[in-house]
Amino acid sequence: MLGNKESRGYYSTMYNDEIMMLYLLVAVYYAVKSKPIVASVFLTLSLSVKAGVILLIPGFLGSIQLNHGTIKLITCLIIIVGF
């Protein structure tokens, strides 16, 4: 894809998408590894880079509620809002 002139022009103007996706990927990894507090820190880092991650917050918080309970959910909410 990077050999195409049009695609190369598109990928050169994506300012911080790669960094945001790296933080988001690490957040998903830690969420799968049952470390929701670390995952919420990385979700907050990706949110600080680009605001498009805000669409993933309901699913992320719902999975924390389902898998870890209300106390971890409140802790993660404090971390996300605090940063």
CA distance 39 to 33: 9
pLDDT band at 16 (very low <50, low <70, confident <90, very high): confident
Q: What is the mean pLDDT of the chain?
A: 85
pLDDT of 51: 83
Place of tokens 């990927």: 25
Per residue in 29-53, pLDDT tens? 999 999 999 999 999 999 988 888 8
pLDDT band at 83 (very low <50, low <70, confident <90, very high): confident
Is 0.75 topped by the overall pTM? yes
pLDDT of 13: 63
Token pair for 23: 């933080």
CB 36 within 8 A of CB 64: yes
CB 36 within 8 A of CB 72: yes
